[in-house]
Amino acid sequence: MIVSESQWQKKNKAIIITGANGNVGSYFARKFLESDENLILLIHKSEQRLQSLQQKFTGNLRIIKVDLTDISLLQNKLSKVVEETGWQPDRLIHTATKRSHDFKPLADTDPELWKQIVLMNLVGAFNILKCVLPFFRKNEYGKIVLFGSNVTRIGLPKGSAYSAAKAGIANISRTLAAEEAKNNIIINTVSPGPIKIDDSQFSESYRKFREEYYNEKIRDIPLKRCASFDDLLGLCKFLLSKENSYITGEEFFITGGKI
């Protein structure tokens, strides 16, 4: 069997997805695996949504269990996978997030919880970027999509830590785009509004919060629905593709027409 140069290059490249056991991350993983991409999936603890993928796509898939706030462990585990597989990571989708789950105004929020949420979101983003940039710089090529949120421009009552952290991620993206342009590394932020997800694993209080929040927000969305995973995937695929050679440092809001 003769393998073309483009096929050979694809077989030696890999996409890194963080938060890969989450709703968005696991959906993206399935779609990219169905397109015969190599994936390095980063998860914290649970891998429930990835079990069927592990069985079906054994040759194209590696899973790393790691706390993104532990940069030494992250670097070690990622380097080990790259060495073992021979894959060269050239794209990153960062979906991992920690939400404000106390649902309290800032004045009533526990300072330690606020700190933990900001730490996971901002330091986690810094750490994964710090770890993948050497691979991208070495090959003078890289595409990155960070997941923000529409709350970066509208705020989030009873969720100040999450709102602040997502705004920080959007600005990390803008800054990194300017710093790494000379290395042919492109980075953008995708900031969705409400997304239709499976929330069965969340606590009853968080599900109630989501229901009340989303029912209120959907009334203001011209398309009168939440975003689907496919609504997010199409944009991310383009931003990560070779066709995107000029769009960088941008924040894309997926809100169904809500300004």
Q: What is the pLDDT of residues 150-161, one digit of tens each?
A: 999 999 888 999
Q: What is the CATH number of domain 5-201+228-252?
A: 3.40.50.720
- Is the overall model pTM greater than 0.85, yes or no? yes
DSSP H/E element including 245 = none
Q: Average pLDDT, whole number, for the chain?
A: 91
Calculate mean pLDDT across residues 214-219. 76
State the residue for tokens 């990571």: 89
Phi/psi for 214 (5° steps) reads: -70, -40
Helix/strand/coil percentages in the chain, nearest 5: 50, 15, 30
Q: For residues 3 and 10, is the Cβ–Cβ distance under 8 A?
A: no
Q: What is the pLDDT of residues 73-94, one digit of tens each?
A: 999 999 999 999 999 999 999 9
Residues 6+ apart with CB under 8 A from 133: 142, 180, 185
Question: Does position 1 have pLDDT exceeding 80, yes or no?
Answer: no
Q: For residues 40 and 64, is the Cβ–Cβ distance under 8 A?
A: yes
The share of the chain scoring above pLDDT 70, in percent, equals 92
Residues 6+ apart with CB under 8 A from 27: 229, 233
Of 211, 177, 216, 175, residue with least CA distance to 196: 211
Instruction: Look at residue 10 in the predicted model and tell me its pLDDT.
Output: 66
Domain ranges of the chain: 5-201+228-252
Q: What is the pLDDT of residues 108-136, one digit of tens each?
A: 999 999 999 999 999 999 999 999 999 99
Q: What is the pLDDT of residues 178-206, one digit of tens each?
A: 999 999 999 999 999 888 776 666 677 76
